[in-house]
Structure 1
Amino acid sequence: MRMVVHLSDLHFGRVDDALLAPLRECVERIDPSLVVVSGDLTQRARSGQFKAAREYLDTLPRPQLVVPGNHDIPLHNVFKRFVNPLKGFRRHITAELDPFFADDEIAVAGVNTARSLTIKDGRINQDQVALLRERFEALDAHITKIVVTHHPFDLPQDKDNDDLVWRAKMAMREFAKCGADLLLSGHMHLHHVGSTSDRYELGGYAALTIQAGTATSTRGRGENNSFNAICVHGDEIRLDRYQWDGSAFSLHSSRRYEREAQGWREVAAQGAQGSTAPTETVTLTG
């Protein structure tokens, strides 16, 4: 069994300081096998903000896998933005922009989608996808394959498709070939779970898309601060959403998926109080 804590959009420089200690305490109680951070560690990519983010990451469990977001590229300093856009991220957070973690149950590949030219939007290129496919295809079939980006491959139905990562269709074709199971992202400051089969037609292949809300930013966009914990146990996945309730991060909802002949099927969707909500089938094949 593996437990992956999925944090996103910390935005140091615009954090609610009251959330930092409770978030750390909650993550420590979960005791994750891996902590994933899907970008936007800072608000304006300033040195002091990166230092604050680094100091906070150092208080969280390890190992960690971290990718940058668009806010981790300088916005107003044009020279830094185009000459060395991720200098601060590399210096203070990690020099590895496409990190990789693997053991005998899960494989997690981070992909940098932040770009200088796009301001807030993200891109993925063929070289990045080729590296990811090479990594995944070398693994045993039973290993659950997880992709981490800042920008999403799927969105809630009421959101603008411009927020999707650019060249998403190209990437999804390659993900289908190497059997990626889960796509983790952030960027929207909203919690969202869906199936790529609703958006992409790839011969029956689908991946489960999981977006994390903002863990610590004051820019909640109508949602309380939250993060995800994903438990992978063989042919089962449990997705727990933890949400700030004003005094602590507590379990808000839990959804469970099982791998069947036709793929992954959601078998339960329960609130924190144990009430069962209607379930929707999410199938992953290929």
Structure 2
Amino acid sequence: MHVSDLHAGWPFNPDLARLLAADAHALQPDLLVVSGDLVQRADFPHQWQVIKAYLRQLPGPQLIVPGNHDVPLLNVFDRLFRPYRQFTRHISSEINPVFELPGLAVVGGCTAHGWTVDGGRLSRDQIAKLEGIFRRYPSGTCKIAVLHHHVIDPPGSQPGRIISNADDVVDLFDRCGVEVLMCGHIHVSYIGSTLDGRPDLERGTIICQSGTTTSTRGKGREAGKNSYNVIEIDDTTIRITQQLFLENAGRFVPVAQHIYPRRSAGVYALPEPSAIDDRR
């Protein structure tokens, strides 16, 4: 289960948060991923207390990376010299977390840094460390990356807000065989591929981008809307279901489903011969 941009603080919608918690407990996912922006303003301790209490209401295990809103803005000293102090105090001591199951590796990278307000990047050191992590898994492992910032602009979105060294990051994913990238940041959901922006890539990586899940700050075509994703993985396919909150239904409902063949299944994951009706 993939949620993003919760924004505890003035934009936080507690009614949506309760619905999300109910969905999460009904689903009981193997992993709950939160791709950043837990709070609206990292300078305010109360917002961290709110989100910490809320995350405790959600099922685990959880993998959480910081977003740019999780880095102080008003306190310049903290922003430059200890940008993750509140995150590590209230959420997790690890800003580049790793989660493993047999056949699955989910690896987080912190793209939020104190010297930028909105933008993000992965440092050379981070890229080298991520490459080392991804390469230690055997063939057939489903490798998933989690960042806050996105790497290509979704159709119709405001251009120019992607991670500053997006090409380096996309190349990293391609050469390491990363099958899925989960991200957020711009409050617009999008399911696609890094091939959409980089057709020169050898294989590409599926992009699973969530809009804002529990805040009032949806943007563009999702203004006033909220979303999250459910990802199901087996030996042959990756299935992503986009969930959108609909007011007339009073709940999150599935609005789209995307099915991709696993790399380990070959170029195409064909059905078993017994499932094919060859009658004329």
After TM superposition, the score normalised by the length of structure 1 is 0.87
**Cα distance in 2 between the residues matched to 1:123 and 1:203:** 20
| Residue 178 (structure 2) aligns with | 180
**Corresponding position: 1:262 with 2:267:** yes
Listed as ranges, the gaps of 5+ residues in structure 2 are 271-280
User: 1:228 — aligned with what?
Assistant: 229
- Greater Rg, structure 1 or structure 2? 2
Moved more, 147-156 or 240-249: 240-249
Name which of structure 1's ranges 156-165 and 225-234 shifts more when overlaid on structure 2.
156-165
- 8 Å contact kept, 1:147–1:182: yes
Contact 1:155 1:192 in 2 (8 A): no
2-structure distance, mates of 1:264, 1:82: 48
How far 1:15 moved relative to its partner? 0.5
Matched residue, 1:249: 252
1:155-207: CA deviation from partner (whole Å, max 9, x where unpaired): 21333442111111112222222111111100010110111112225552211
CA gap of 1:187–1:264, structure 2 versus 1, over 3 A, is farther
8 Å CA contact 2:34, 2:63 repeated in 1: yes
Q: Quick one: which amino acid aligns to residue 257 of structure 1?
A: Y
Write the mapping of 1:199-238 to structure 2, written as runs, cut at 5 A: 199-221=197-219, 222-223=221-222, 224-238=225-239
Query: Are the counterparts in 2 of residues 67 and 97 from structure 1 also a CA contact under 8 Å?
Result: yes
Structure 1 residue runs of 4 or more that deviate by more than 4 Å after TM superposition: none
The CA deviation string for residues 96-136 of structure 1, in whole angstroms up to 9 with x for no partner, is 01000111121100000001122100011121111111111
Measure the CA separation in 2 of the matches of 1:215 and 1:84: 27
TM-score of the superposed pair, with normalisation by structure 2? 0.89
Give the match for residue 120 of structure 1: 118
Give the partner amino acid of 2:195. Answer: S
| Corresponding residue of 1:10 | 6
- Structure 1 residue 230, shift from structure 2 partner: 0.3
Q: Which runs of 5+ in 1 are unaligned?
A: 266-286
CA distance in 2, matches of 1:68, 1:263: 35
1:22 aligns with 2:27: no
Query: Identity across aligned pairs (percent)?
Result: 37
SS of residue paired to 2:160: helix
Contact 1:242 1:250 in 2 (8 A): yes
Distance 1:245 1:87 in 2: 37
Distance in 2 (CA, whole Å) between partners of 1:198 and 1:57 is 34
Q: Does 1:34 align with 2:35?
A: no
